[in-house]
Amino acid sequence: MEEKFKLDIKKRPRRLRKSQRILDLCRESEVRPSNLILPVFIKEGKKGSEEIPSMPGISRHTIDSLLRECEKCLSAGVGAIAPFPNVNPKYKSKDASESLNSKSLANRAIEAVKKHFPEIVVIADIALDPYTSHGHDGILNDRGDWILNDETVEILAGMSLMAAHAGADFVAPSDMMDGRIGAIREALDECGFTDTAIMAYSAKYSSCMYSPFRDAIGSAPKGGKVKYLDKRGYQLSPTNSREAMKEIALDEEEGADVLMVKPAGWYLDIVSEAKKRSNLPIAAYQVSGEYSMIMAAVKNGWLDLERAKRESLDSIKRAGADMILTYFAI
Ligand code: PBG
């Protein structure tokens, strides 16, 4: 009789994978709806929402349909939204003056949400790209080849005051200008908004992953030679991680309340390093390109939606994100 082959090992990690209940006991991290933030696109008008072709399943909402979206969030247990406006081109300009309009689409949306759902956490985007005719996050110099830092920060501080006044719980500068967190904190405090928090897009990379978002808000170049906007003069280089830690340290020093890494999936090393270095909560943004890549594969029948969604979010959580901005939130 032949002996059954048997390994002489004491340690068998698979014991802990014997049943779902044991797996559950040993689970190290978990994404909960209350950790999620839904980014939402808003547009003018009364007619309902319109789907964004490069983001299947995601729409631009009017303020009315945004309120219905908020209801869906609450029933799904998601308590936070981050609205982004699709601004009518006639309000876009080189100096982004519409960004300082207290009755801009974005500010009206914040007001409406806080009026109907005071319990929803509203995270207001602070950046000029929805408002500039060229789609950059700041004011261009005369030669058109460099974003002017301090001039841009002055506007961002003003924009933050408007958003705080409209009722935003957080202002979230997504522009990557130097010194903006300190300037915004000072402006908010001087005007009595000491309880308005700052979620800083601290490590925001110059990524190819933002293209669907730029379609959604209408900041992508239209026609002409340039197909994709180049933001390398302010967003971080994908090759660098120590530089991200420098940005994170600066934002913390300047008074940020939450630090963000963006995109999430290709930058999990940055998420986990940020988590080690700072005691502030860490947010990660699973951006439009991450969403659309998954949806494209799902549409082709190459990936399973439920599993891809879950795994992509689980890995961001495992890397150390306390909260995740994701188009999958609902
Ligand atoms: C710009 C901004 C971008 C995103 C959020 N705010 C894109 C950019 O830098 O051009 C991208 C989010 C996404 O892709 O989902 N202030």
CA-204 nearest atom, ligand 1: 9
Question: Closest residue (by CA) to atom 2 of ligand 1?
Answer: 174
Between the CA atoms of 126, 211, 262 and 241, what dihedral angle is there, to the nearest 10 degrees? -120
* AA letter at 139: I
Alpha helix ranges (H) inside the chain: 20-25, 63-76, 105-116, 149-166, 180-190, 211-217, 242-254, 268-277, 288-299, 305-319
- What are the residues facing 132 on neighbouring strands? 93
- Dihedral of the alpha carbons of 168, 125, 187, 104, in degrees to the nearest 10: -80
Supply the pLDDT for residue 222.
76
> Residue 262: CB partners within 8 Å, gap ≥ 6?
174, 201, 203, 204, 205, 207, 284, 285, 287
Cβ atoms 139, 153 nearer than 8 A: no
Q: Is 46 a catalytic residue?
A: no
| Residues 24-42, mean pLDDT to the nearest whole number | 98
127 lines ligand 1 (CB under 6 A): yes
**Any ligand 1 atom below 6 A from CB of 159:** no
Q: For residue 244, which of 284, 287, 211 has the smallest C-alpha distance?
A: 284
- Per-residue CA distances from 32 to 146, 172, 310 (Å): 41, 22, 11
pLDDT at residue 123 is higher than 90: yes
Rounded-to-integer distance, Cα 151 and Cα 141, Å = 10
Q: How confident is the model at residue 221 (pLDDT cuts 50, 70, 90)?
A: confident
pLDDT per position as a tens digit, 229-281: 899 999 999 999 999 999 999 999 999 999 999 999 999 999 999 999 999 99
Active site includes 262? Answer: yes
Q: Residue 318: CB partners within 8 Å, gap ≥ 6?
A: 28, 29
Nearest C-alpha to atom 5 of ligand 1 is from which residue?
174
- Local structure of 270: helix, strand or coil: helix
Atom of ligand 1 nearest to the CA of 174: 16
- Position 115 scores a pLDDT of 98
* Alpha carbon distances (Å) from 222 to 136, 219, 230: 13, 8, 14
Distance of alpha carbon 299 from alpha carbon 295, whole angstroms: 6
Q: Which residue has the tokens 């909560």?
A: 281
If one residue of 58, 213, 235, 328 were mutated to test the ligand 1 pocket, choosing by the most ligand atoms within 8 A of its CB, it would be 213
Q: CA 142 → CA 139, 145, 149, 156, 226, distances in Å?
A: 10, 8, 14, 20, 19
Report residue 48's pLDDT band, with 50, 70 and 90 as the boundaries: confident
Q: Does residue 212 register a pLDDT over 80?
A: yes
Q: How confident is the model at residue 65 (pLDDT cuts 50, 70, 90)?
A: very high
How many CA atoms, within 13 angstroms, populate the side-chain half-sphere of residue 295?
16
Contact 274, 248 (CB under 8 A): yes
Whether ligand 1 lies within 6 angstroms of the CB of 31 is answered as no
- Cα of 230 from ligand 1 centre, angstroms: 12
pLDDT of residue 62: 97
Mean pLDDT over the full length of the chain: 96
The dihedral built from the CA positions of residue 227, 200, 127 and 216, taken in this order, carries a sign that is positive
Looking at the CA of residue 229, tell me the nearest atom of ligand 1. Answer: 10
Residue type, 161: L
Question: Which of the following is catalytic: 204, 231, 309, 317?
Answer: 204
Looking at residue 225, what is its pLDDT? 66
Residue 246 CB contacts under 8 Å (≥ 6 apart), including other chains = none
Of 200, 264, 198, 203, nearest in space to 234 by CA: 203
pLDDT in tens, 183-210: 999 999 999 999 999 999 999 999 999 9
- Ligand 1 pocket check for 290: Cβ under 6 Å: no
Residue 90: DSSP 8-state: G
Mean pLDDT for the stretch of residues 139-168: 97
